[in-house]
Structure 1
């Protein structure tokens, strides 16, 4: 089997799973309890928080545990809106955000907030000048993803941050779900980013884990009210085994980051060079540092994406349409549509997303199978 759908989810690492099982069996007290079992759980939770914070050079109190990227996105967006609405109701985002951001914005619009959706160029990238031009006296939040989940565009996070230094009262959020372990830490944790969201299952941690980086001093309303856990910002009994396992996964992915990114870029390059040979193939992801190393989006024009996905699956190769989170819905081409790619072409797009377990041999096999499939698709596209 060749698994090329790592942007949808990753397989939990054995040592991470071992950590989860050990903590679940041995440290099962509630971290909020006053007795010894609770204190042991509390201490482990804080150790896990500090481990993540130390790896990124931030304070432990700036790491808030969540259930994943969708919760994190919704919390930061709505929490900012609710906390700052007396100062304004204008939010700026891009037209290529993940559904968790896009749909949270739509909910706020229904509540009377005004959202500006910035256009992108033909590579799916926001122009920082457009951010500058969109800022108003009542702007309270700018939310731009770090790496696009559909085609892999790296957004100009630092450049936008430089602009926002002139507006210290505007919250700046980065959806970093596709960015962890991909060589862009300095961009995500730059001095002007106020919030960044992460999802554990994207980097070999258990599903249902995640964290938000919240810069010290930034005010945000809780999304989940209850017993006051996570500094009163995210109530609910903490997922101690999941968070401990996630902290281990963060350390492991950081340790192997440089080698992994280099290998992913080599695999991507090999596949792109092969795909360039075919007349009916359109490649949307560039083979340079302006795009993430692990995401490759292309289309066999004339063959719908789901057809291509299932054809590869018959050869035990697993890819996806442009976004696994919306691949079963009609809205599957948001980024390509924003890039003004014709709908008939966008519907043919598929995504190859690489992980640290993939090899150049996987690329060779993918290319071999592609040749076979393309030959069979000729009767459709010619």
Structure 2
């Protein structure tokens, strides 16, 4: 097998050719500092305004509500820490789930050390938060709720609108933050109509460049910057703007949203085909992603083997997958996401994440199934298991 099969799109995506070319043109011809008052600076500033408008249009937001960052991690940190720092009297209680991305989970752990009362809402076997558990803990002292819209390991989708309605009933002053890094560009999300006050998105998940992200901040919501300096981005995110990256992000968003509905239908067909083949050829395999999950992510466990071993055998056949979140892939810890869903340790150890994009094909799926047929009996025997 000589052609590459890339099934790790939740970790990062291959940038569009048009995005790469556009970034090259911007880097070569519009290299001025956007803060400079001369023509070169003004030209660069106009490009940033255009990219901001591109993102705002897809979110049905005002351009003043879009702030550029270095990526999803910074956006999540700014949303949670930035809001609480700016609103110390909002309350001492914060809520999240047990399956959040590390860039949210680690912030909450630090805030707990700083004296905040933290509640981690459990999830069911589908990876969806238990609303009854949320109802039990949300109260008048709740300042912020933060939930990942779509989980990066399983594709589970959270009931954000229901969470927002509950918040409005019990504690309307609390703000709702949504980590939409995995959902943006795959589903239509309009934060204002969903009741979202703060929302994080990232460029490299939608075929844009790495090192660029954005945060939606609803008008009237106060946030204190976590980076101090020259006061760029309306004094909320200091640092010279990454003009080529921001421009690439804007173009990638425009391109992916132009085909978002067709992409969803197509990728759904790929997932359906893949899951059917998995069940047909690997009777002991377990699909950890629920049927109603985002179709772009399929988490599968194969019994009697280690996921990392399978990953590298697939890599030798030029097939690229992941054992879980790329942000924690160098850690030896079990997936806390699958653990929270009640998945047994033996299946957590053997879990592989296949994440799709519209650039994948049915033949990619069939080649991967054939590769798994060759690999799994070999590595299962090496580990003393049975197929």
- Give matches, 1:354-365, under 5 Å: 354-365=356-367
Q: CA deviation at 1:180?
A: 1.4
Match of 1:155 in 2: 158
- Alpha-carbon distance in 1 for matches of 2:271, 2:194: 31
Aligned 8 A contact 2:192 2:218 in 1? no
Match of 1:204 in 2: 207
- Alpha-carbon distance in 1 for matches of 2:192, 2:250: 17
Q: CA deviation at 1:146?
A: 0.6
Match of 1:179 in 2: 183
Between Structure 1 and Structure 2, how many residues are aligned?
A: 379
Q: CA deviation at 1:332?
A: 4.1
Alignment partner of 2:326: what SS?
coil
- Alpha-carbon distance in 2 for matches of 1:2, 1:332: 26
- Give matches, 1:138-287, under 5 Å: 138-166=141-169, 167-186=171-190, 188=191, 190-277=193-280, 278-287=282-291
2:385 corresponds to 1:381: yes
Alignment partner of 1:172: what SS?
strand
Q: CA deviation at 1:378?
A: 4.3
Q: CA deviation at 1:68?
A: 0.3
TM superposition outliers: structure 1 runs of 4+ over 4 Å: none
Match of 2:340 in 1: 338
Aligned 8 A contact 1:326 1:332 in 2? no
Match of 1:64 in 2: 67
Aligned with residue 122 of structure 1, among 121, 125, 137: 125
Aligned with residue 349 of structure 1, among 348, 351, 354: 351
- Alpha-carbon distance in 1 for matches of 2:366, 2:38: 57
- Over the aligned positions, Cα root-mean-square deviation in angstroms equals 1.4
- Give matches, 1:17-96, under 5 Å: 17-96=20-99
Match of 2:301 in 1: 299
Aligned 8 A contact 1:322 1:332 in 2? no
Q: CA deviation at 1:133?
A: 2.0
- Alpha-carbon distance in 2 for matches of 1:55, 1:324: 27
- Alpha-carbon distance in 2 for matches of 1:72, 1:332: 26
- Alpha-carbon distance in 2 for matches of 1:332, 1:78: 27
Alignment partner of 2:327: what SS?
coil
Structure 1: gaps spanning 5 or more residues: none
TM-score, reference length from structure 1: 0.96
- Alpha-carbon distance in 1 for matches of 2:51, 2:296: 27
- Single out whichever of 90-99 and 367-376 deviates more from structure 2: 367-376
- Alpha-carbon distance in 1 for matches of 2:150, 2:265: 17
